[in-house]
């Protein structure tokens, strides 16, 4: 049975990898829908995600594409897994503190399926006590994390903070569902 992945894309330079991630997940036979923050749309247009996913892309909490449902609740219910990639310090902080001020965060707070975050940010931001605290809170709340890799960052620094490669994230998602199938 085809699984539903809801990809929440927040705004950092790693958004370009999220387009490739949608492609890889779709090739692995997942049904993918995308929600984008306003900042994410500064880096990549919704059309890129629509083409790769073959689904509508969501970004406005008040733009209801189907008047029979409330989009952010319907998307949260639809998903078998929600993946936030890239997960910026901003979206991590909002979710850790229960702030729901856009389509991504309202959907995340309505989710009952597993929520995974793949952080991507400057090495110093990732190491900041507030970000560490927010990640620890989300882990305590039941969220899972796909650790960023180390390497050359867009800011010119070298260190931990690169969004994990789309192929690796896809492999982790595939292995998760294979493990779930063995349990059930």
Q: Is 145 exposed, middle or buried (0-12, 13-18, 19+ CB in 10 A)?
A: middle
Q: List the one residue out of 45, 102, 83 whose CA is nearest residue 170.
A: 83
- Asked if residue 86 has a cis previous peptide bond (ω within 30° of 0), the answer is yes
Tracing tokens 């036979």 back to the chain, one arrives at: 29
By annotation, the residues acting in catalysis are 155
């Amino acid at each position: 049975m085809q699984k539903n992945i809801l990809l929440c894309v927040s705004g950092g330079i790693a958004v370009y990898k999220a387009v490739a991630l949608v492609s890889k997940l779709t090739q692995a036979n997942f049904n993918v829908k995308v929600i984008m923050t306003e900042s994410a749309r500064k880096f990549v247009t919704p059309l890129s995600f629509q083409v790769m996913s073959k689904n509508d892309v969501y970004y406005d909490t008040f733009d209801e594409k189907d008047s029979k449902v409330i989009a952010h609740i319907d998307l949260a219910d639809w998903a078998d897994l929600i993946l936030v990639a890239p997960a910026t310090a901003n979206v991590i902080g909002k979710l850790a503190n229960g702030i729901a001020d856009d389509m991504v965060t309202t959907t995340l707070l309505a989710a009952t399926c597993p929520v995974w975050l793949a952080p991507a940010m400057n090495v110093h931001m990732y190491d900041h006590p507030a970000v560490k605290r927010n990640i620890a809170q989300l882990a305590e709340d039941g969220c899972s994390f796909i650790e960023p890799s180390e390497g050359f960052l867009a800011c010119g620094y070298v260190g931990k903070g690169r969004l994990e490669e789309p192929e690796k994230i896809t492999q982790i998602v595939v292995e998760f569902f294979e493990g779930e199938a063995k349990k059930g």
